[in-house]
A and B are shown apart, each in its own frame.
Chain A
Amino acid sequence: MFEDVSKYNITKVIDRTLPEILTEKRKLSRMDIIDLCWKLKNIGADLIEINRDILKILGKLPKGITFLFRIECDEDLQLLKNTDISYCISKEEAFFNKNVLENNRLKALNRFIEIKADSISELLSVIETKGTGWGGQIDCLRITGLNNFLCEDWINAVGQVSKSLNVKIDICPDNHFYTATALALEAIKNQSDYVTVSFAGFGGEYGFAALEEVMVGMRVLLKKDKEAKLELLPDFSKDFTQLTEICIPGYKPLIGEDIFKYESGIHADGIEKEPSTYEPFEPEMIGQKRKLYIGKHSGRKSIEKKLQELSIDTGKYDIERILKKVRRKSMGLRRALLDEELKEICKFSVMAYS
């Protein structure tokens, strides 16, 4: 969509997790923020979005991180003065006030304007209504919302806006219809200049595209590798939970603790032969490990593998008998079995001749 703008570049990823955490009135120390910034950068974020609250806590900005600063009022212009921030963003009404327009410091920055569009016609109307007024005053247009955008025309429509207004594009979809990650990846595939995301899709009214889904999707699905250290995701996940007190569900894509647990006989057999039969990538890539569970859906081979894991000699035991008992017990408990429970079953399932 934006081929004339950044044909050979990989889309830059902006992360907006920090202001979203602070919006929820949670406390962050300067060291918390610096630590999170570096972790986000290592996971693959190119720019870290911050606002006045974060800038006030930070005071002096850490070197090596590129920040995008949100301007909402005149006070923000004062705060900006003494920093080396090189990117700023504001809503249209905040940008086009006299103080902002005439601010020399601001003129030297990469300036983003944020608009909301929930339909393609709404987006295209920007060309008509803003085309002349914005001339040369902004560098990048962030489009938020995008709730009804998943259709064949949306890429062309965004490209048209980029070309007509001569601006770069930042796609920041919200997750009202659970399509935010899909839109962000489509934007990256079509060479958008920027996409804006947050960790676990946290924040806003409906959430955003999830940083981890976009980063892993770029590597695995789009083969556009930013050399991100994705193995750090569990570490960031722990920090996130600690700071927000939000528990990540076990099956949350890429960061849930359960996503590489497997139990069913068919899957266990497939994974034993070749893990890629039932996994899209190696768990280690995102700092996880696979774990075999034993329960209602286990098959013979799963039982044998688990016993080997527990250093139990499989030859001594009647595996079919164990399997039947495992299934019954698992249904009775309405869950998978603990290792100790499996060992207990084994005690009473020794082969007749042994």
Chain B
Amino acid sequence: MEAKIVDTTLRDGEQKAGIAFTVNDKVRIAKLLDTMGVFQIEAGIPAMGIDEMRCVRKILEQNLKSRISTWNRMNPSDIAKSIECAPHIIHISVPSSDIQIKSKLRKDRSWVLSNMKKCISIAVEKGFEVTVGMEDASRADQAFLVEIISAALGEGSRRIRYADTVGVLYWQRAYDEVESLINQTGAEIEIHAHNDFGMAVSNSLAALKAGAEYVDCTVLGIGERAGNCDYLKFIKAARGSMGLFKDLDIEYIEKIHNDVTYMIDGKGDKIQSFLLG
């Protein structure tokens, strides 16, 4: 078993109310995350505007080992902004629960499927790797999730994010649902857990045990409301309980973690990391 970390400190993490990174902060954090061995850095949302696009481009210019992705609503104009930035991966978030589809989008399931296919094809035709995020999957109808995944795979996407958007998963549900989706579709699953009930780490472990290959984390677990899966806690838990990440130097990661924490606290200018000088 192997697990790849997708770090979303710069996207979902920064969405914690009150946090505002500068372009320089984000570039520096991306460099630190790269040294922590994360597989993928979700760098931002180009649709937010010129500053965010400039930031994504600057992160890409660093030629990091981590793959750089952008987050997009299921919207052709968002995808176009991402394409302009030329990231390694374009992530498209697809509202999947009826609460989200009806209350937020004011649409129906068939609209979601057709619009998703259109958006994926725009990016795939330009040669981009596309991952699809099933927003609010933990409150969605499983049969509809299978439809979304099948349609996404049909358009050329391979990896699907299962987002527990409001943090309502618990261990057995996380395990059963991820296992069932993998068995039914064969998709590569990425777990995106929120910590509303203090179970983001355990739900991520459950998904991993059920066959998920990618785990979304943020530094310190920052994010909307009670935050996301905490990178350091997850690494320690996965190492302690599943024997994973044995090669990672935890002490080193803790140091880097502290540096990033400093920037989250808005003290990026005062940081004196041995890495950043």
Contact = CB atoms under 8 A, between A and B. Distances in A.
A277 B104 contact: yes
Contacts of B51: 327-328, 331
A263 B241 CA distance: 36
Contacts of A178: 201-202, 230, 233-234, 236-237
Interface centre among B15, B25, B234 (most CB of A within 10 A): B15
Interface string B185-206: 0000000000111110111011
B205 A179 contact: yes
A251 interface: yes
A185 interface: yes
Contacts of B18: 258, 261, 263, 293, 295, 335-336
A321 interface: no
Contacts of A330: 20
A253 B226 contact: yes
Contacts of B170: 182, 185-186, 189, 217, 221-222
Interface stretch (B60-68, B83-91, B160-168, B252-260): B160-168
B236 A221 contact: no
B196 to A, nearest CB: 5
Contacts of B225: 251, 258-260, 262, 279
Interface in B181-235: 195-199, 201-203, 205-206, 209, 221-227, 230, 233-234
Contacts of A291: 17
A278 B164 CA distance: 11
Interface residues of A, number: 60
Contacts of A334: 19-22, 25, 266, 268
B100 interface: yes
B241 A335 contact: no
Interface string A119-147: 00000000000000000000000000001
A270 interface: yes
Given A147-B240, A178-B233, A335-B18, A280 B198 contact: no
Interface of A: 147-148, 150-152, 176-179, 181-183, 185-186, 189, 201, 210, 213, 216-217, 220-222, 251-254, 256, 258-264, 266-267, 269-270, 273-274, 276-280, 291, 293, 295-297, 327-328, 330-336
Interface of B: 14-23, 25, 48-49, 51, 73, 99-100, 103-104, 136, 165-168, 170-172, 175, 195-199, 201-203, 205-206, 209, 221-227, 230, 233-234, 236-237, 240-241, 266, 268
Given A177-B237, A181-B202, 18 more contacts: A179-B241, A186-B170, A201-B198, A213-B199, A220-B168, A251-B223, A253-B196, A259-B196, A262-B224, A264-B15, A270-B100, A273-B103, A274-B104, A276-B103, A279-B166, A331-B51, A334-B20, A334-B22
